[in-house]
């Protein structure tokens, strides 16, 4: 029988499949790719009779799935480095906000930027993540906080997606907070989101999901419910920033809506964990914001383990609380700050990161039928990805079967 022709074959490294969220390491493995998909993954000794058009022989190292950064705010105007310096010099967040700083300073800078300026500045930040093996990334709006600016942000995300070797998911986070124009009429902004903005987002295909920020300084659970009702009526999946600064039951609320994820979760309770487990909602942990804000309340990792809630990790790259441009650093922080194991951390930026985006059927692990997004690292074992702090690990990124 004739050999089966395929596009490419990748040999000479151990393969960390992350199937079922475990290393499932295959020593001296082989990865076969055709038409941008994985067609075979296994030990080289069991390799079928393939006739590859291209063959890559690595000299040791490991191959992992492409990394998934499932929570970022990469598109915005300006930066907040001045406020970071002020805080470290003893100026309180309340004082900074009274001076016109905080999120509203980012809103002003974002509204003043053109779509092209937003794309260009975001591209610089995104390139830093891609250089470290990220092949799938979620990007939220949320710094426009008016109808047209939020649409511009989402269009910028879609434009950005056309120019990078990565799968980019767009999330509408218009419910990030309340614009200054609606300080005395918060319901007016909720009405605009539900009645005008989300229908336009859906009609133009600008978002893959809808997010909100449930917190005493943002939306109440009742306001979140209104946004989620509107999103679900339009067939848009939901997710939620929840339990970051206080326990409001937002994670359980999100789970009841079948949310893809609840994110932050420092103040999540056992009731939240039970609800998330019941409804398949992923816990997205964000150690960058925890670190920068110098928080002390850690997310209840042990409760998530006990109840079988998958835990993802993400950079939360944003101008105010997590100016993080390294998902690999988040792997280490997830272990050192939150108590994850290296295997849990790597699962958090592969399979469970993909599940937090609703992409677990096609992304996040090395299995036949999934997209051929993977990375070769010159490392002896997967724990090394978590172990090294900073610096550049020279990696070879393969996106949709093509070396980058």
Core vs surface per residue 330-357: b (16+ CB within 10 A) or e = bbbbbbebbebebbbbbbbbbbbbbbbb
Residue 393 to residue 404: CA distance in whole angstroms: 15
- Residues at the binding site are 71, 73, 80, 143, 176, 241, 244, 316, 318, 320-321
Instruction: Quote the crossing angle between the two packed helices 115-130 and 147-161, to the nearest 10°.
Output: 50
Instruction: Give 12's strand partners.
Output: none
Backbone angles phi, psi at 57, to 5 degrees: -110, 110
Structure tokens at 53: 């058009």
Residue 61 to residue 206: CA distance in whole angstroms: 39
For 35, other C-beta atoms within 10 Å of its C-beta total 10
Asked if 33 and 11 touch (Cβ cutoff 8 Å), the reply is no
- Where does residue 42 rank: exposed (0-12), middle (13-18), buried (19+ CB within 10 A)? middle
Asked if 122 and 389 touch (Cβ cutoff 8 Å), the reply is no
CA angle, residues 336, 338, 342, in degrees to nearest 5: 60
- Residues at the binding site for N-formimidoyl-L-glutamate are 143, 318, 320
- Residues at the binding site for Fe(3+) are 71, 73, 241, 316
Residues 6 or more apart in contact with residue 137 via CB below 8 angstroms? 68, 69, 70, 72, 74, 126, 129, 166, 167, 168, 169
- Residues at the binding site for Zn(2+) are 71, 73, 241, 316
Asked if 349 and 331 touch (Cβ cutoff 8 Å), the reply is yes
Q: Report the residue count for the chain.
A: 404
Find how far residue 129's CA is from the centre of its chain. Answer: 11
**CA separation (Å) from 137 to 18, 149, 207?**
18, 22, 13
Structure tokens at 390: 């900073």
Q: 3-state DSSP: the chain helix, strand, coil percent, rounded to 5?
A: 40, 25, 40
- Residues at the binding site for 4-imidazolone-5-propanoate are 80, 143, 176, 244, 321
């Amino acid at each position: 029988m004739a050999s089966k022709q395929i596009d490419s074959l990748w040999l000479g490294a151990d393969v960390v499949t992350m199937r079922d969220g475990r290393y499932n390491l295959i020593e001296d493995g082989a990865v076969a790719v055709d038409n941008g998909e994985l067609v075979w993954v296994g030990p080289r000794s069991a390799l079928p009779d393939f006739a590859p058009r291209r063959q890559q022989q690595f000299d040791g190292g490991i191959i992992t799935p492409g990394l998934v950064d499932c929570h970022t705010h990469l598109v915005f105007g300006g930066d907040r480095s001045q406020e970071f310096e002020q805080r470290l010099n003893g100026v309180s967040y309340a004082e900074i906000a009274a001076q016109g700083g905080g999120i509203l300073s980012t809103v002003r800078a974002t509204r003043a930027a053109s779509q092209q300026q937003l794309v260009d500045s975001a591209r610089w930040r995104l390139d830093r993540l891609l250089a470290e093996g990220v092949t799938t990334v979620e990007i939220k709006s949320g710094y426009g906080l008016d109808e047209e600016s939020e649409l511009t942000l989402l269009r910028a995300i879609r434009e950005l997606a056309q120019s990078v070797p990565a799968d980019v998911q767009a999330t509408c986070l218009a419910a990030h907070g309340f614009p200054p124009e609606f300080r005395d009429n918060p319901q007016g902004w909720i009405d605009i989101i539900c009645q005008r903005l989300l229908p336009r987002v859906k009609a133009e295909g600008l978002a893959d999901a809808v997010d909100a920020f449930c917190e005493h300084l943002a939306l109440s659970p009742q306001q979140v419910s209104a946004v989620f009702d509107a999103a679900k009526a339009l067939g848009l999946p939901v997710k939620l920033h929840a339990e970051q600064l206080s326990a409001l039951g937002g994670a359980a609320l999100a789970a009841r809506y079948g949310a893809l994820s609840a994110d932050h979760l420092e103040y999540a309770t056992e009731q939240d964990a039970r609800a998330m487990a019941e409804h398949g909602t992923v816990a997205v942990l964000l150690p960058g914001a925890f670190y920068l804000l110098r928080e002390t309340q850690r997310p209840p990792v042990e409760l998530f383990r006990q109840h079988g809630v998958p835990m993802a990790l993400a950079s939360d790259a944003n101008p105010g609380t997590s100016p993080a441009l390294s998902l690999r650093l988040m792997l280490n922080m997830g272990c050192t700050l939150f108590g994850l194991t290296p295997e849990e951390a790597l699962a958090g930026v592969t399979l469970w990161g993909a599940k937090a985006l609703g992409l677990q059927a096609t992304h996040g692990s090395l299995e036949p039928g999934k997209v051929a997004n993977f990375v070769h690292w010159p490392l002896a074992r997967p724990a090394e990805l978590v172990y090294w702090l900073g610096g550049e690990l020279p990696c070879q990124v393969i996106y949709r079967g093509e070396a980058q």
